[in-house]
Chain A
Amino acid sequence: MPGPLDGVRVFDLTLWMVGPWASTQLGALGADVIHIEQPSIDPRTLGAGVPPTINGTSIGYMTWNQNKRGLFLDLKSAADRQTAYELLQTCDVFLINMRPGAAERMGVGYEQVKAVNPDIIYTAITGWGEVGPMRDKPGADVQAQYFTGFWSVSGAEGGRPEVYRHMAQIDATTGNVAAQAVLMGLLARKRTGQGQRIHVGMLRAGMALQSGRIAENLSTGALHQPQGSAAFATAPDQALQCQWGDWIGISVTSEDEWQRFAAVMRASEAEVDGIDELATDPRWSTNRDRVARRIELADILQAGFLQRPRHYWMLRLSAAGIPCGYPISFETLQHHAQAIENQYLREVETSGWGNVWTGGAPWEFSTTPARWFGACLPGEHTGEILDELAAQRATADEPTPVIGD
């Protein structure tokens, strides 16, 4: 059985990460994604030239253009633009992430595309939005991290807030949100029979990612300061060090879990004052009490956890249904049953860069499986796609309308 978007075709006029990540998702869901590049593209700038490279190409390009076919089109040339319109007639989705006005200059603004294909789901992605004083500023992950406050809630206990150093989280979030919008647009088209224009911006997608934390500030004025591994809303919910120095992360987020957690601590027979009375001590009666005395509670728990090895705690906490986990390095994840059995981390073949490791499809469908394959080279499928168009032209009843420049 093919993927859920089998039969859907995407005209993918995207660059850098945000747009390409959206179409990577649609490709994984089974859509035929045709990724457009300028034939004159300098391979060194592909994927915005994000270092490092593999065989001279940015790892950005090969991460963000998986699950697609590659087509060269020069939208500044009249002939290629005509090909683009012909191709657009066969597409369900148009995706672009360029600054406001760029699409119109290339002849692929919404009105221009709609004239060729009125049913299209036209999705434009911007950094800061299509209005407002920042509409023309470039938007990238690190800037969005800073601007949306994403950096402001993480850091060592008592230290200064810090940036998430592996950039891409807000880029990818915006891509995911754009993919959602496309899917919702396709579903709406089934009901209404109509295409439409959709816009998604990094600013609002980045804020939606943090809607819980932002709501805490908006509704109570709370301005969180970094507190290491500890959660803001729940306690105990943090990393603790075990015997021999290993770390474990535990989350107690309901009163029922707290009672079971307290029972595990008591059964451990760790020699710490207060550890036997966790379930009954009025200081810890409710989650809000525990959050208010978070550090006092953590001191007791930390002393207890240090007395038994991590595997002791993993076994006992898991058996009691208490959420937990521990740090796993990339080298271990590559072989870890939890990542491999669910195909969350996988090695894929590419045309130009050998085998690369990548995250896999984050979903599992029982009937219409998702797929995942290595990035296309720029323009790799140009001949194949143009042949398909020619075959279609031979059987078409009506000529493609010519759209004036």
Chain B
Amino acid sequence: MPGPLDGYRVIEIAEGVAGPHTAMSLGDAGADVIKIEPPQGDRSRGWAPSLNGDSPVFRTLNRSKRGIVLDWSSEQDIETARRLLTQADVAVVDKYGLPPELGWEQLNAPGLVYCAISGFGPRGPWADHPISEIGTQMASEATSSLGNLGEPPVRHGSDIGSVFAANNAIQAICGALYARDDSDPSNPTGGQRVEVSLFGSLIAMRSTLWVALSNPDEWWGFHLDSYVKPPDHGYQCRDLPIYFSLARIRGEAFESLIDELDMAWARDHPDYDMLRTDGAGGAGRYAAELKPLWERGFANFDADQVMEIVERHGGWAFPMHDYERLSQDPQVAAVEAIIDLEQSDGPIMRQVAPPWDFEGTPVSTPTRPSPGLGEHQEEVLTELESLG
């Protein structure tokens, strides 16, 4: 059975992460996605590390697409792109070198949903600044939730601004398609332009913090604390760090927990009352102050042992995975979060699965790997000719 977006055609003229991630998701959900690359290829083909001449980022974010190459110095190629766009349902574009002839105003494609992804949004003094992950993370204050006050900025190591923008772009595109296809025939909505930016998406994702800063009853809370707490590396056990929460453990259960962790010494510590009542975990009010006490106890046990003891007493504990441990976790296997995708040049590549389960229109494992540069040139151009 085809996926939920079966029958929609998407043209992508974008590079890097934000635009390609958007179009990949639409393709994963069943849309026919055609990626247009410049002769030198999407910039992310040259990112590190190298994977058979591309990068892992390129190979992941460009699956579920067909690929062609067009050269914006050729008027004929611009015309080809224009024709592809006017016959499509969706365009995903960013500002990397898009010729003016392919702007929304110039296209005259009344049924097209034209999604433009930018770094900082369509208006304002920075409207023309190109997409920058570090620039938008800094400008939206995301870097203030990492690192130490007064020390160099720390970025989030995943491309969060770009993927947040992609997630928003997918919503905007699907919303606009819904409006287009649902309108009253006597007064059609038609296609339209939608704008999404990394900066706006990062700000939207920090809404809880903005509300917390509005006029709180007291200046405390684990959102506000992102400004004043030291870096949180988790709770180090003998081998690995863990996260844990004792929110519901009190009284006798707490005393038994302390005994099992060989932490009787803590009863003589001046902060013992705080230890019994703060709940612990990263969200506790005095988590940073109390962490050294817990870690002194946990140092005698492996992470698995501490997690078992905590859970047996009614708390919650979770392993702190790096990507290697994550990919080996039985829960990840159980929910089939990682898929094997055979590449067009041979080898199998392991990738993260699409995040939705549709029971009526299932999104099965994507079968189309990322295209080689210009791999589907003839096929797509022949289709275009046959459409007239």
Q: Is the CB of A231 within 8 A of B326?
A: no
Instruction: Evaluate contact between B217 and A54: CB separation under 8 angstroms.
Output: yes
Residues on A with beta carbons closer than 8 Å to the beta carbon of B196: 362-364
Interface residue A23 (Cβ < 8 Å from any Cβ of B) = no
The verdict on A358 contacting chain B, using a C-beta distance below 8 Å, is yes
Nearest chain A CB to B62 CB, angstrom units: 11
Contact indicator B316/A344 (Cβ below 8 Å): no
Q: Evaluate contact between A183 and B178: CB separation under 8 angstroms.
A: yes
- List B residues 46-86 near A (Cβ within 8 Å): 46-51, 55-57, 59-61
Q: B residues within 8 A CB of A231?
A: 133-134, 155
Interface pair B221/A222, CB less than 8 Å apart: no
Residue B164 CB within 8 A of the other chain? yes
How far is B181's CA from A368's CA once the two chains are assembled, in angstroms?
A: 13
Report how far A247 CA is from B196 CA in the complex, Å.
Answer: 26
The reply to whether A200 and B356 contact each other, CB–CB distance below 8 Å, is yes
Q: A55 on the interface (CB 8 Å rule)?
A: yes
Give residues of chain A (298-348) contacting chain B, Cβ–Cβ below 8 Å: 318, 321-330, 333, 337-342, 344-345
Q: Within the assembled complex, what's the spacing in Å between the Cα atoms of A335 and B16?
A: 31
Find out whether the CB atom of B135 lies under 8 angstroms from the CB atom of A251: yes
The answer to whether A131 and B335 touch across the interface, beta carbons within 8 angstroms, is yes
Tell yes or no: A99 within 8 A of B by CB.
no
B-contacting 9-mer, from A68-76, A157-165, A389-397? A157-165
Q: Number of A interface residues, CB 8 Å?
A: 161
For A1, list chain B residues within 8 Å (CB). Answer: 189
**B245-288 toward A: CB 8 Å interface, digit per residue (1/0)?**
00000000000000000000000000000000000011100000
Whether B108 sits at the interface, judged by CB under 8 Å, is: no
A339 B334 Cβ-Cβ under 8 A: no
Q: Looking at the complex, which of A80-88, A204-212, A266-274 is the stretch in contact with chain B?
A: A204-212
User: B387 at interface (Cβ–Cβ under 8 A)?
Assistant: no
A166-B209, A212-B56 as given contacts; A362 in contact with B168, CB under 8 Å = yes
Interface status of A379 (Cβ within 8 A of chain B):
no
The reply to whether A324 and B145 contact each other, CB–CB distance below 8 Å, is: no
Restricting to A169-188, which residues have a CB under 8 Å from any CB of B? 169, 172-173, 176-177, 179-181, 183-188
Contact size class for B? 35 or more
CA–CA, A361 and B204, complex, Å: 7
Q: CA–CA, A197 to B193, complex, Å?
A: 30
Would you call A226 an interface residue if the criterion is a C-beta within 8 Å of the partner chain's C-beta atoms?
yes
B276 CB → nearest A CB, Å: 20
Of the residues B124, B167, B283, B352, contact of A215 by C-beta under 8 Å? B352
Taking a contact as CB atoms under 8 Å apart, the answer to whether B61 and A177 are in contact is no
Judged by a CB distance under 8 angstroms, whether A97 is at the interface is: no
Find A185's partner among B4, B122, B223, B233 (CB 8 Å cutoff): B4
**Residue on B nearest A55 in the bound complex, by CB:** B217
* Nearest CB of chain B from residue A324's CB, rounded to whole Å: 5
Contact B324 A210 (CB under 8 A): no
Contact B164 A173 (CB under 8 A): yes
Q: Which of A83-141 contact B (CB under 8 A)?
A: 128-129, 131-134, 137-138
Complex Cα gap A207–B352 (Å): 7
Q: Within the assembled complex, what's the spacing in Å between the Cα atoms of A132 and B332? A: 8
Smallest CB separation, A178 vs chain B (Å): 8
CB of B164 within 8 A of CB of A344, answer: no
Neighbouring A residues of B158 by C-beta, 8 Å: 150, 153, 209-210, 212-213
A367→B113 CA distance, assembly (Å): 11
CB pair A63–B323 under 8 Å, yes or no, is: no
Q: Contacts A152-B321, A188-B360 given: A217-B134 contact, CB under 8 Å?
A: no
Q: Name B153-173 residues within 8 Å CB distance of A.
A: 153-160, 163-165, 167-172
Q: Give the interface segment out of B136-144, B289-297, B373-381.
A: B136-144
7 pairs of residues in contact across A and B, judged by CB atoms under 8 Å: A54-B216, A172-B205, A251-B135, A318-B129, A327-B153, A338-B120, A357-B214
Instruction: Identify 9 new A-B residue pairs, CB closer than 8 A, beyond the known A55-B217, A219-B59, A239-B155.
Output: A5-B175, A59-B216, A153-B156, A162-B231, A199-B357, A205-B355, A222-B49, A247-B138, A253-B44
